Structure 1
Amino acid sequence: MRPLDQQTILITGATGGLGRALVHRAARHGMTVLAHGRDEQRLRALALEVEEATGTSIDTVVADLSDLREVDRLAAGVVDTYDELHVLVNNAGVGFGAPGSGREVSADGIELRFAVNHLAAYRLAARLATLLEVSAPARIVQVASAGQLALDPEDPLTEHGYDGVTAYRRAKLAQVMATYDLAGDLVGTGVSVTALHPATFMDTTMVRDAGQEPATTVEEGLDATWRLVAEEALDGVSGVYFDGQREGVTDPQADDPAARAWVRELSDRLIAGALTSR
C-alpha cells in the first residue's frame, strides 16, 4: 500500500459519529480527505473543526444518498475532480429509527434503510470502481453490522409487519452480500473489499435516537474501521466480514450464492427503475 499521506479517501456519512472520527484520524495522517454529508452547514463546521484540530484542510461534498440520482451525481463529481481514489468508506446509514416509528421510503419510493444502507453504497462502489482500479492498490470498506437478518423473498423491502429494526437488519445483510459479490468482481484488480461491524451500540446520535443505551465508544469502532483502511497486513484481504478486529460470522444467507444472486438482481432492478422513473 502507498504511504497514507499519498492516499485519497472518500468517507460517506462524515458529519457525525464514526464518520466524523474517521475524518479526523485520516486528516491527522495526512490523507487527502473528501468528507460527504447531506447538510452543507454541518460539513462546513466539520471542515473548520478538522483544520483547527489538525492544521489540515479537507474537501467536502453534499449529497442525499436516499436519492440514487444524487448518488450518481456524487460519483460523477469524484471522478471529474480526482485523478486517484485509494479508499472508499461506505459509512453513511440510517438506524432503527425512533421506537414505534412507521415505515419510511426514499426519494425513489424504496424502503429507506434498504435504499441508504445498501443500495446507495452498492451503487457508489460500482460507479467508483474504475477510479479505484486505476489507483490500485485501493480499498473499499463497508460499515455494516452484526445485526443481520435474512431477506424474505416474498417481502424483501419489509412492506408487511414493518419495524425499523427488521428493515435495518435486512439492509445490513444485503450490504454484506454485496461486499462478497463486489470482491469477486474485483479479483485481480488490486482493489479489496471488506465489511465490518465496527462496535455494538456506539455512543452516537443514531443509537440514542433509536432509544438504545450506548454500549461502546466511538473510539472502539474507529479503531476497527481504521484497521481496514490503513493496516498494511491487510493488503489483498478481500471478501471478508469482520466483527470488530476479528473475522466475523454472517447470517447464513450471505454464504448462499443463489441468495446473493437474487439480492443482486433485486438491487440492480430497483436502481434501474429509480434512475429511469423520474
Structure 2
Amino acid sequence: MTGARDTVVLITGATDGIGRATARALAAHGATVLVHGRDARRVAETVAEAETAGAAAARGYVADFESLAAVRTMSARILAEEPRLDVLINNAGVGILDTRHETVDGCERVFQVNFLAGHALTRGLIERLAERPGGRVVDVASAGQWPLDLDDPQSARDWHGAFAYGRSKLAQVAACLALAEREPRVAFNALHPGSLLPTKLRPPMLAPVDTLDTAVDAILHAAIDPSMAGVTGRYYDKREPIEPHAQALDSAFRERLLRIAGGLIAAG
C-alpha cells in the first residue's frame, strides 16, 4: 500500500488496541502521525513507538473526550501547531458499560465519547483538512448500530449498555454520511473494522472473529490508500462497501442529528 508518505494523519484513541496498532502501521508507511489519547504517559509511549517504526514525525495530543472543553482546546492547539492535516481518523471510544454515566457536560458518556466528541473535533478541524486536495475523515464505527430516538438521543428513558453503544455508533455513521453531503472538499467515510477480542468493539463474552491486522488494514485502506481518493459518503465492513443501518440513510434524520449535536457542542 502506498499513499502515506508526505501525509499528516491524526488518529484519536491511539494509545491502545486498534488505535495504537494503526498508529504504528501509519508510521511504518512513513506518515507524520499525530497521536491522541487521554493519558499523557501512554501518548508519549505511542509517539516513541511511531518514531521507532519509521514515522516522518510523530507528535502527541492529550484530551479526555468526556470534556467538550478539552476537545476544543485540543482542536485549537492542533490548528496552532499543525500547518497541515490530511487525514483524521476518529477511533476513540468506549465499549459497553454496566451503568449509565454523565460527563462533565451533562451528556451520556457513551454518546459523548463515541460520537459527540469526535464530531466536535471534526467540525473544529474541517477547514484545515480542506486546505489541501484529498483531505479525508475516517470514522471507526461498528456493525452493531442500534436505532436512535432523537427525542431521547442520550437514552435517559431506557438506557442499556449494549443499546447505548449501538446508538452511539449509529449516530457516528449517520453524521459521517451527513457531512459527506455537506462538505465536498473533504472525503468522509465510516467503517466497521471487524469484531475483535479483547477490545471495546465486542462484548467480552463473545469470541473473536477477525484479527487486529484485519482491522488495521481496513482503516489504512480508507485513510491512505490511493484507490480511495475522492470516495466519500460510504460505509464499509472492513474493505467491503455495504449499507449501514437504514436510519443512517435517512437524510431528515441525519440533518436533525447534526442540529442536536451542534446544540450540545455549543452548550458544552
**TM-score band (shorter)?**
over 0.9
Instruction: State the match for 1:67 in structure 2.
Output: 67
The structure-2 alpha-carbon separation of the partners of 1:230 and 1:129, relative to structure 1 and needing over 3 Å to count, comes to: same
Rounded Cα–Cα distance in structure 1 between residues aligned with 2:49 and 2:175: 34
How many positions carry a matched residue from both structures? Answer: 267
Amino acid at match of 1:217: T
Rounded Cα–Cα distance in structure 1 between residues aligned with 2:91 and 2:201: 15
Query: 5 Å matches for 1:1-278?
Result: 3-54=3-54, 57-97=57-97, 101-187=98-184, 189=185, 191-200=186-195, 202-207=196-201, 210-274=204-268
The structure-2 alpha-carbon separation of the partners of 1:52 and 1:150, relative to structure 1 and needing over 3 Å to count, comes to: same
Q: 1:216-262: CA deviations, max 9, x gaps?
A: 21111111111001211111000111111111221111111111122
Amino acid at match of 1:29: H
Q: 1:141-169: CA deviations, max 9, x gaps?
A: 00011111111133221112321110011
The structure-2 alpha-carbon separation of the partners of 1:248 and 1:65, relative to structure 1 and needing over 3 Å to count, comes to: same
Rounded Cα–Cα distance in structure 2 between residues aligned with 1:180 and 1:207: 21
Rounded Cα–Cα distance in structure 1 between residues aligned with 2:156 and 2:67: 19
3-state SS of 1:254 partner: helix
- Unpaired stretches in structure 2, ≥5 consecutive residues: none
Deviation at 1:106, TM superposition (A): 1.6
Deviation at 1:116, TM superposition (A): 1.0
3-state SS of 2:25 partner: helix
Moved more, 50-59 or 125-134: 50-59
Q: CA RMSD in A?
A: 1.7
- Unpaired stretches in structure 1, ≥5 consecutive residues: none
Moved more, 103-112 or 50-59: 50-59
Deviation at 1:184, TM superposition (A): 1.2
The structure-2 alpha-carbon separation of the partners of 1:141 and 1:208, relative to structure 1 and needing over 3 Å to count, comes to: closer
Rounded Cα–Cα distance in structure 1 between residues aligned with 2:96 and 2:249: 25
Contact 1:96 1:210 in 2 (8 A): no
Q: 1:92-136: CA deviations, max 9, x gaps?
A: 011112xxx210112211011110111111111111011011122
Rounded Cα–Cα distance in structure 2 between residues aligned with 1:62 and 1:258: 35
Deviation at 1:53, TM superposition (A): 4.1
Rounded Cα–Cα distance in structure 2 between residues aligned with 1:226 and 1:124: 20
How does the TM-score come out when normalised to structure 1? 0.91
Amino acid at match of 1:50: A
Rounded Cα–Cα distance in structure 2 between residues aligned with 1:57 and 1:9: 10
3-state SS of 1:5 partner: coil
Rounded Cα–Cα distance in structure 1 between residues aligned with 2:259 and 2:55: 46
Contact 1:75 1:124 in 2 (8 A): yes
Rounded Cα–Cα distance in structure 1 between residues aligned with 2:262 and 2:219: 28
Aligned identity (percent) is: 37
